[in-house]
C-alpha cells in the first residue's frame, strides 16, 4: 500500500510592535520579569483592552504578503480556559471572523513550484510565561502577556517533512522581508504545531490526526513529521489506527510522546469580546498599507532576473533571505558587475555560510569589503584564485582586502618585460612541452601556464602571460 | 443648619461663596455616617482620614481663589466595584475581601479632578449580582426609609448613602436596573447613562456590554452635577464615545410643553401581581406631564416581552467570562488546601464566590457551551438587536418613554432572595434599557404603604438632555 502524508501547520508569530496589543506596555524580549506590565496585561479587576493600531497594521501586512483576503471588520472573541499564565481566564482571540482569510505561499518543492494554501490568519494576544524552578515552585512572568500574535493556519497541503521545512523557511523569510517579526524560534517569536495523518487513497484508508507540540526548531519539525509518518503507516499496516491525540516531541530521543487524547473538541466557549467594539477598516488604509509594503521575495526574484540578467536559480537563491538579497544588490552596484557579484556570492560566500551554519550578517564581511576585493579582480590586479585565498583570510582575520594583498605582495605581475623574462625561462626549461603543444596537445599549454604561476607564486596576470606565451611559441 | 440635608447644588454654592468649608461639609457627613451606619450598613469601607485631608486641599484652593472643579469639595460615596487606588475595593465579595487596587478607575480620576471628596466605598450585591444588596459578603444594606425592607440593589449602598444623608453624591453601576431600582426603593434620584457616555475603565464588569456607571443624588439637579463630573470619552475604554458627551443644561429654561411621551402597550401585559397601587400612582403622575403640555401616546415594542430572558442569557454569559480572572493565582482569595492546579481553581472559586454569583457563572457557562450556544447565547444576541430596533422606531417620533421603575415595592429581608426567578422579574422595566444601550432615570413619584416608589424615564442613546428635561420638568411640577 502506498500512503500519502497530509500535514497542516499552525504557526504563531509574535509581532514586533512597539507596544503590546491592548495596553501601552513595551513589547520587548528579555526584559527583567514583570517589568513591562500594567493593570490591563495583568488582568487586574476592571482593566479594559484597547486595540493597538500597529498590531492590526502588521497583521494586515502579513495577510497581504500571504495573498489573503483582508476582512474589513475586526471582531475579537474571548477564548475561555484556565491556566496560570493566562491572566483573564480567557484569551482575546478571533473565532468565526479571522482578519485574513484564504491565501497561499508558493514553495519550490522537489516536483517544482507548489502552492500551499492557507486556511486563515487571525490575531490574538500572547500569554505570560511559566518558569518552573528546581524546588518545585512555578514563577510567572507576564512581560509577554498581551504581546500581539498572528496565528497562521495552513490547509493540509504539505505532503512531506521536506515540504514542511521549505514552507517554514519561505514563511520565515517572507515575514522577515516585511519586517513584522524577528521570527526566532529559539526565542519563541515563531512557534509551530503540526497536524499530521496519512491516507491510502486507493483503498480509502486513513489514520486519525495527531497534533504535535513542543517543536523548537525546523529540524524538530522535520524529525517529528518523519517519526509520525512512520508511526502512522506502521499502525495502519498492522491493521490498527492512530488515535486522535496531542503528542509532544522529545528533542533528545527524536520521538513523540502522548500528551492527551482528544475525546471531543475542546470547548473554549467563544464569546464576542464586547470590550473591543468592532473596528471597521477603510479600503484607503488597506491600500495605503499595500502600497507601503516592502518588496516580497517572489517579486524581488523576478526583478533580479530582469534587472541583473542572472539565472532564475541564482535569483531564487539570492532572494532566499532578505539580508542576502540586500548584500547582493549592494555588491552588484559597488562593483558595477551583477554577474561577477552573483558568482562570488553563489560560490564562495554561500559555501562559507553553509559550512558555518551562519547568516550573512554573522560573517566578517560586508558588501563594501567584498567589493574592495572584487575590484582588484576586475582591474586585473589579482587573479581569481588569489582572490579566493584573500577572501578566506579576510573572513578569518577581519582585515581588509587591500591590507592582506599588500601584506603578502599579491598584486599580479602585469609588466610585460618581467613576464617575458620568466616565460623565456619556462620555455627553455620545458622544450618537450613546447613540442607537444605544437603537435596539437593543447594540454601542454596548461602545464606551461602552471609553471609560470609556480615561478611567480600565482601572481602572473593570467591573460597577459597566456598571450605572451602563445606569441613566443608561435614566433619561435 | 443640617448640612447633610441640603441638596448638593445648594451646598456647592455655599462652599463656593465661602459660607461653609468643604472640611465642615465632609465632617458633617462623616458624623452622619457615625450616627447611622451601624444600622444602615451603606458602606463597606469608610475613608475618613483621607477624605478630610482632601477636603482641606479643596478649601485651600478656594481660599487662594483658584478654579475649583464642579464637585467643589463635596463628599462622594463610590460603589465598591469601582477601583480606588490604595483604598480597598471588594465588589462585596470574599474573593476580594482584602484587595487594594494599585490604580484608579477613570471615573475616580475625574472625580478627583473635579474636586470631589471620596468618603468611602458603598455596599452592593456581590459583583453587582442581585437586586437587594443581600448577596453582599459584608451583610445587607437597610433601607433608610424603612429599616425592615431592603434598599434594593445591586447599588443598594450607594442609594442608601444618599437617602440616609451619608454622602452628597454617589456612584453606582447599572447592568439591568442596579441604579434605578435602589433609587426607587430609597426615594432618591438615580441615573443610568447611555452605554458609552461614562468610562468603564477600572470598573469591575458584571456584563460588560450592559454595564454603565451612573449616579445618585437627592434630586435631578444633584444627579446632573454628579454625572457631569464623570461623563466623557476615555481613551482607555474602547466602548466610550468619542462623539458624544453630556450637554450643558439650563435648568431654569426647562419646560414640559410639547414633550412627546410614549407608553409601551406591552408593559400592560408584563405587569406583575400586586403592582396595582404602584400603577395607580404612575397613572396619576402622568397627569403632571399632561397638565404641563406634554403629549402622551401609546406605542408598541413587540419584542419587549422577551427582554428578561434575553437579558439573563446575555448577562450571565458575560458574567461567566468576566469573573474568570478571579482564579486565586495573582490576587484575591486563594484556598489554603489544594493538591492540583484544578483544585486550586475550584477550591478558591468555590470558597471565594457567594451563591448568586456561582449560580450566574454556571448559567452563563451553560449558555455558551457547545450545543447550547446557538439556541441560547446567539439567539439572545439576535433578539437584543430586535429590541434595539423597536426602541429606535419609537424614538423617531418620541422624546421619552415612561414607566414605573420597579413593579414591586421594597421587600422585607430574606423574602425573595431564595426565589431567584421572582427576584429577576422585578427587573422587567429596567433591563430593556440596558439591552438597547439607552439612558434612563428613576425619580421619586410618591409612596405606597409608606414605601417610596420611582418613576422611570427613558430616552434615546446620548439624549441625556431630554432625559434631564423630562425628569426636572416633572420634579419641579410635582412638588
Looking at CA atoms only, how far is residue A89 from chain B in angstroms?
5
Confidence of residue A15 (pLDDT cuts 50, 70, 90): very high
**CB–CB of A152/A118 below 8 Å?**
yes
Helices then strands, each counted (H, E), chain A: 16, 18
How many residues belong to chain B? 479
Instruction: For residue range A192-230, list pLDDT tens digits in order.
Output: 999 999 999 888 899 999 999 989 899 999 999 999 999
Distance CA B25, CA B48 (A): 12
Q: Measured between beta carbons, which residues in chain B are less than 8 angstroms from residue A78?
A: 321
Q: What architecture (CATH level 2) is domain B3-251?
A: Alpha-Beta Complex (3.90)
Cα–Cα distances in angstroms (integers) from residue A8 to residues A18, A197, B196, in the given order: 31, 9, 43
Task: Name the residue among B202, B238, B324 with its Cβ closest to that of A275.
Answer: B238
* Sequence-ordered alpha helix ranges (H) in A254-400: 283-291, 297-308, 312-318, 322-335, 338-344, 350-356, 367-378, 384-397
Q: A82 and B320 in contact by Cβ < 8 A?
A: no
Confidence of residue A476 (pLDDT cuts 50, 70, 90): low
Same domain, A217 and A114: yes
Measured in whole angstroms, how far is the alpha carbon of residue A170 from the centre of its chain?
A: 6
**CB–CB of B8/B38 below 8 Å?**
no
**Low-confidence stretches of chain B (pLDDT beneath 50):** none
Domain boundary among A260, A284, A308: A284
Q: Measured between beta carbons, which residues in chain B are less than 8 angstroms from residue A270?
A: 368
Residue A102 lies inside a defined structural domain of this protein:
yes
Residue A364 lies inside a defined structural domain of this protein:
yes
Neighbours of B123 (CB within 10 A): 32
**CB–CB of B56/B23 below 8 Å?**
yes
Burial of A357 (0-12, 13-18, 19+ CB in 10 A): exposed
| Terminal alpha carbon distance of chain A | 74
Same domain, A250 and A267: yes
Q: At residue A265, does pLDDT exceed 70?
A: no
Q: Measured between beta carbons, which residues in chain B are less than 8 angstroms from residue A46?
A: 81-83, 101, 105, 200-205
Question: What are A120's three cell numbers?
Answer: 486563515
Provide the 3-class DSSP secondary structure of residue A197.
strand
Same domain, A159 and A241: yes
Q: B320 and A269 in contact by Cβ < 8 A?
A: yes
Counting one residue from A and one from B, how many pairs have CB atoms under 8 Å apart?
99
Neighbours of B248 (CB within 10 A): 8
Cα–Cα distances in angstroms (integers) from residue B156 to residues B132, B161, B173, in the given order: 7, 8, 10
Spot the catalytic one: B154, B207, B406, B442.
Answer: B154
Same domain, A223 and A321: no
Beta-bridge mates of residue B440: B192, B458
Q: A87 and B325 in contact by Cβ < 8 A?
A: yes
Distance CA A318, CA B354 (A): 65
| Terminal alpha carbon distance of chain B | 22
Annotation says B415 is catalytic: no
Task: Name the residue among A42, A82, A265 with its Cβ closest to that of B330.
Answer: A42
Distance CA A283, CA A281 (A): 7
| Average pLDDT value for residue range A286-297 | 94
pLDDT, greater one: A473 or B180:
B180
Q: What residues of chain B have any CB closer than 8 angstroms to a CB in chain A?
A: 81-83, 89, 91, 96, 99, 101-103, 105, 200-205, 208-209, 235-239, 317-318, 320-321, 323-327, 329-331, 341, 345, 365, 368-370, 373, 377, 381
3-state DSSP helix/strand/coil % of chain B, to nearest 5: 45, 15, 40
Q: Measured between beta carbons, which residues in chain B are less than 8 angstroms from residue A87?
A: 325, 330
Residue of B nearest to A84 (CA): B329
| Domain encompassing residue A470 | 416-475
Distance CA A117, CA A109 (A): 14
Q: At residue A263, does pLDDT exceed 70?
A: no
**CB–CB of A126/A178 below 8 Å?**
no
Domain boundary among A382, A408, A434: A408
Question: What are A359's three cell numbers?
Answer: 547568516
Helix A401-408 to helix A367-378 angle (10° resolution) is 50
Q: Measured between beta carbons, which residues in chain B are less than 8 angstroms from residue A265?
A: 370
Mean residue pLDDT of chain B comes to 96
Task: Name the residue among B96, B105, B369 with its Cβ closest to that of A267.
Answer: B369
Annotation says B178 is catalytic: yes
Looking at CA atoms only, how far is residue B235 from chain A in angstroms?
8
Same domain, A307 and A270: no
Same domain, A220 and A335: no
DSSP string, A20-52: -SSSS-B--SSPPTTSS--TTTTT-TT------
Confidence of residue A1 (pLDDT cuts 50, 70, 90): low
**CB–CB of A126/A145 below 8 Å?**
yes
Same domain, A42 and A184: yes
How many structural domains does chain A have?
3
Instruction: For residue range A176-188, list pLDDT tens digits in order.
Output: 999 999 999 988 9
What local confidence, expressed as pLDDT, does residue A264 receive? Answer: 63
What is the domain-level CATH number for residue A452? Answer: 1.10.10.410
Sign of the alpha-carbon dihedral angle for B124, B127, B130, B135: negative
Residue of A nearest to B365 (CA): A269
Beta-bridge mates of residue B169: B76
Domains of chain B by residue range: 3-251
Residue A101 lies inside a defined structural domain of this protein:
yes
What local confidence, expressed as pLDDT, does residue B60 receive? Answer: 97
Picking from B407, B368, B432, the residue whose alpha carbon sits closest to that of residue B276 is: B407
The whole model's pTM is what? 0.89
Residue A290 lies inside a defined structural domain of this protein:
no
Instruction: For residue range A136-163, list pLDDT tens digits in order.
Output: 899 999 999 999 999 999 999 999 999 9
What local confidence, expressed as pLDDT, does residue B189 receive? Answer: 98
Same domain, A260 and A310: no
Q: Of A106-110, A260-264, A428-432, B259-263, where does the model show the most confidence?
A: B259-263
- Rounded to the nearest 5 degrees, what angle is found at the Cα of B392, between the Cα atoms of B388 and B395? 135
| Average pLDDT value for residue range A393-419 | 84
Q: What is the ipTM of this complex?
A: 0.95
Question: What are A369's three cell numbers?
Answer: 569589503
Instruction: For residue range A305-326, list pLDDT tens digits in order.
Output: 999 999 999 998 999 888 999 9
Domain boundary among A284, A317, A337: A284
**CB–CB of B106/B234 below 8 Å?**
yes
Mean residue pLDDT of chain A comes to 92
Same domain, A304 and A165: no
Q: B318 and A274 in contact by Cβ < 8 A?
A: yes
Distance CA B85, CA B87 (A): 5
Q: What residues of chain A have any CB closer than 8 angstroms to a CB in chain B?
A: 39, 42-51, 78, 80, 82, 84, 87-90, 140, 265, 267, 269-272, 274-277
Picking from B171, B101, B139, B175, the residue whose alpha carbon sits closest to that of residue B354 is: B139
How would you label B32-54 residue by residue, b for 16+ Cβ within 10 Å and e otherwise?
A: bbeebbeebbbbbbbbeeebbeb
pLDDT, greater one: B349 or A414:
B349
Annotation says B154 is catalytic: yes
Distance CA B70, CA B115 (A): 7
Q: At residue A350, does pLDDT exceed 70?
A: yes
Distance CA B372, CA B146 (A): 44
DSSP string, A438-457: HTT-THHHHHHHHHHHHHTT
Q: In three state form, how does the secondary structure of A369-402 look? A: HHHHHHHHHHCCCCCHHHHHHHHHHHHHHCCCHH
φ, ψ for residue B174 (rounded to 5)? -135, 115
Neighbours of A432 (CB within 10 A): 9
Measured in whole angstroms, how far is the alpha carbon of residue B402 from the centre of its chain?
A: 18
Residue A289 lies inside a defined structural domain of this protein:
no
Question: In terms of DSSP bridges, do strands A245-250 and A255-261 run parallel, antiparallel, or are they unpaired?
Answer: antiparallel
Q: A90 and B368 in contact by Cβ < 8 A?
A: no
* Sequence-ordered alpha helix ranges (H) in A238-296: 283-291
**CB–CB of B321/B208 below 8 Å?**
no
Q: B321 and A89 in contact by Cβ < 8 A?
A: yes
Same domain, A142 and A222: yes
Amino acid at each position: 500500500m502506498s500512503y500519502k502524508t497530509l500535514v497542516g501547520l499552525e504557526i504563531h508569530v509574535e509581532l514586533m510592535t512597539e507596544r503590546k496589543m491592548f495596553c501601552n506596555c513595551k513589547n520587548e524580549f528579555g526584559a527583567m520579569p514583570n517589568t513591562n506590565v500594567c493593570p490591563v496585561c495583568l488582568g487586574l479587576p476592571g482593566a479594559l483592552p484597547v486595540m493597538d493600531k500597529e498590531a492590526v497594521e502588521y497583521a494586515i501586512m502579513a495577510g497581504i504578503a500571504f495573498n489573503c483576503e483582508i476582512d474589513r471588520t475586526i471582531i475579537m472573541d474571548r477564548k475561555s480556559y484556565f491556566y496560570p499564565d493566562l491572566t483573564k481566564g480567557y484569551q482575546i482571540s478571533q473565532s468565526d471572523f479571522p482578519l485574513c482569510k484564504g491565501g497561499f505561499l508558493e514553495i519550490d518543492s522537489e516536483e517544482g513550484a507548489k502552492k500551499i494554501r492557507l486556511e486563515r490568519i487571525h490575531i490574538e494576544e500572547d500569554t505570560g510565561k511559566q518558569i518552573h524552578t528546581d524546588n518545585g515552585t512555578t514563577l510567572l512572568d507576564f512581560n509577554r502577556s498581551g504581546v500581539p500574535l498572528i496565528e497562521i493556519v495552513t490547509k493540509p497541503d504539505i505532503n512531506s517533512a521536506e515540504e514542511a521545512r521549505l514552507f517554514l523557511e519561505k514563511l520565515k523569510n517572507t515575514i522577515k522581508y516585511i519586517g513584522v517579526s524577528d521570527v526566532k524560534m529559539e526565542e519563541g517569536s515563531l512557534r509551530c504545531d503540526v497536524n499530521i495523518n496519512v491516507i491510502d487513497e486507493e483503498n480509502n484508508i486513513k489514520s486519525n490526526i495527531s497534533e504535535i507540540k513542543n517543536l523548537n526548531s525546523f529540524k524538530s519539525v522535520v524529525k517529528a513529521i518523519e517519526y509520525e509518518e512512520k508511526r502512522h503507516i506502521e499502525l495502519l499496516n498492522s491493521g490498527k489506527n492512530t488515535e486522535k491525540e496531542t503528542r509532544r516531541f522529545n528533542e533528545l530521543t527524536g520521538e513523540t510522546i502522548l500528551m492527551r487524547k482528544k475525546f471531543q473538541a475542546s470547548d473554549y466557549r467563544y464569546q464576542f469580546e464586547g470590550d473591543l467594539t468592532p473596528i471597521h477598516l477603510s479600503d484607503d488604509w488597506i491600500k495605503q498599507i499595500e502600497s507601503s509594503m516592502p518588496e516580497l521575495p517572489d517579486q524581488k526574484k523576478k526583478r533580479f532576473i530582469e534587472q541583473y540578467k542572472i539565472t532564475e536559480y541564482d535569483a531564487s537563491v539570492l532572494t532566499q533571505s532578505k539580508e542576502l538579497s540586500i548584500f547582493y544588490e549592494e555588491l552588484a552596484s559597488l562593483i558595477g558587475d551583477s554577474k561577477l557579484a552573483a558568482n562570488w556570492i553563489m560560490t564562495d560566500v554561500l559555501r562559507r555560510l553553509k559550512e558555518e551554519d551562519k547568516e550573512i550578517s554573522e560573517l566578517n564581511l560586508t558588501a563594501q569589503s567584498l567589493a574592495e576585493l572584487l575590484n582588484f579582480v576586475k582591474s586585473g590586479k589579482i587573479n581569481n584564485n588569489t582572490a579566493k585565498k584573500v577572501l578566506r583570510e579576510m573572513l578569518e582575520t577581519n582585515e581588509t582586502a587591500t591590507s592582506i594583498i599588500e601584506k603578502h605582495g599579491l598584486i599580479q605581475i602585469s609588466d610585460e618585460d618581467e613576464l617575458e623574462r620568466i616565460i623565456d625561462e619556462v620555455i627553455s626549461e620545458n622544450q618537450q612541452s613546447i613540442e607537444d603543444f605544437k603537435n596539437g596537445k593543447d594540454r601542454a599549454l596548461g602545464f606551461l601556464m602552471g609553471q609560470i604561476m609556480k615561478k611567480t607564486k600565482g601572481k602572473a596576470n593570467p591573460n597577459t602571460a597566456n598571450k605572451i606565451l602563445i606569441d613566443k611559441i608561435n614566433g619561435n | 443648619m443640617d448640612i447633610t440635608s441640603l441638596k448638593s447644588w445648594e451646598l456647592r454654592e455655599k462652599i463656593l461663596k465661602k459660607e461653609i468649608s468643604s472640611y465642615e461639609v465632609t465632617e458633617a457627613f462623616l458624623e452622619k455616617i457615625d450616627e447611622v451606619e451601624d444600622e444602615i450598613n451603606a458602606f463597606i469601607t469608610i475613608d475618613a482620614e483621607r477624605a478630610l485631608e482632601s477636603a482641606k486641599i479643596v478649601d485651600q484652593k478656594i481660599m487662594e481663589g483658584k478654579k475649583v472643579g464642579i464637585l467643589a469639595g463635596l463628599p462622594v460615596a463610590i460603589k465598591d466595584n469601582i477601583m480606588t487606588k490604595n483604598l480597598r475595593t471588594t465588589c462585596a465579595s470574599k474573593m476580594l475581601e482584602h484587595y487594594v487596587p494599585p490604580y484608579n478607575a477613570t471615573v475616580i480620576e475625574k472625580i478627583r479632578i473635579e474636586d470631589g471628596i471620596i468618603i468611602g466605598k458603598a455596599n452592593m450585591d456581590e459583583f453587582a449580582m442581585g437586586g437587594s444588596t443581600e448577596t453582599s459578603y459584608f451583610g445587607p444594606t437597610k433601607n433608610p426609609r424603612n429599616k425592615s425592607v431592603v434598599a434594593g440593589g445591586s447599588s443598594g449602598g450607594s442609594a442608601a448613602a444618599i437617602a440616609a444623608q451619608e454622602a452628597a453624591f454617589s456612584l453606582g453601576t447599572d447592568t439591568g436596573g442596579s441604579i434605578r431600582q435602589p433609587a426607587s426603593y430609597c426615594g432618591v434620584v438615580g441615573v443610568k447613562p447611555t452605554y458609552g457616555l461614562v468610562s468603564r475603565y477600572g470598573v469591575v464588569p458584571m456584563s460588560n456590554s450592559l454595564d454603565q456607571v451612573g449616579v445618585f443624588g437627592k434630586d435631578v439637579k444633584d444627579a446632573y452635577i454628579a454625572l457631569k463630573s464623570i461623563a466623557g470619552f476615555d481613551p482607555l475604554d474602547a466602548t466610550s464615545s468619542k462623539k458624544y458627551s453630556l450637554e450643558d443644561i439650563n435648568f431654569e429654561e426647562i419646560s414640559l410643553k410639547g414633550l412627546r411621551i410614549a407608553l409601551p402597550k406591552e408593559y400592560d401585559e408584563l405587569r406583575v401581581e400586586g403592582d396595582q397601587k404602584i400603577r395607580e400612582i404612575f397613572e396619576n403622575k402622568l397627569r403632571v406631564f399632561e397638565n404641563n403640555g406634554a403629549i402622551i401616546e401609546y406605542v408598541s415594542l413587540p419584542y419587549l416581552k422577551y427582554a428578561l430572558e434575553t437579558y439573563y442569557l446575555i448577562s450571565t454569559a458575560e458574567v461567566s467570562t468576566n469573573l474568570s480572572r478571579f482564579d486565586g493565582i495573582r490576587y484575591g482569595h486563594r484556598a489554603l488546601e489544594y493538591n492540583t492546579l484544578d483544585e486550586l481553581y475550584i477550591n478558591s472559586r468555590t470558597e471565594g464566590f457567594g451563591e448568586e454569583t456561582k449560580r450566574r457563572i454556571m448559567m452563563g457557562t451553560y449558555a455558551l457551551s457547545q450545543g447550547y450556544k446557538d439556541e441560547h447565547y446567539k439567539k439572545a444576541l439576535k433578539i437584543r438587536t430586535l429590541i434595539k430596533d423597536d426602541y429606535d422606531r419609537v424614538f423617531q417620533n418620541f422624546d421619552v418613554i415612561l414607566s414605573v421603575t420597579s413593579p414591586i415595592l421594597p421587600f422585607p429581608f430574606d423574602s425573595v432572595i431564595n426565589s431567584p426567578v421572582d427576584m429577576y422579574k422585578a427587573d422587567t422595566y429596567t433591563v430593556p434599557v440596558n439591552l438597547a444601550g439607552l439612558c434612563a432615570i428613576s425619580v421619586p413619584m410618591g409612596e405606597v404603604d409608606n414605601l417610596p416608589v420611582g418613576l422611570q424615564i427613558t430616552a434615546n442613546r446620548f439624549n441625556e438632555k431630554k432625559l434631564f428635561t423630562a425628569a426636572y420638568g416633572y420634579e419641579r411640577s410635582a412638588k
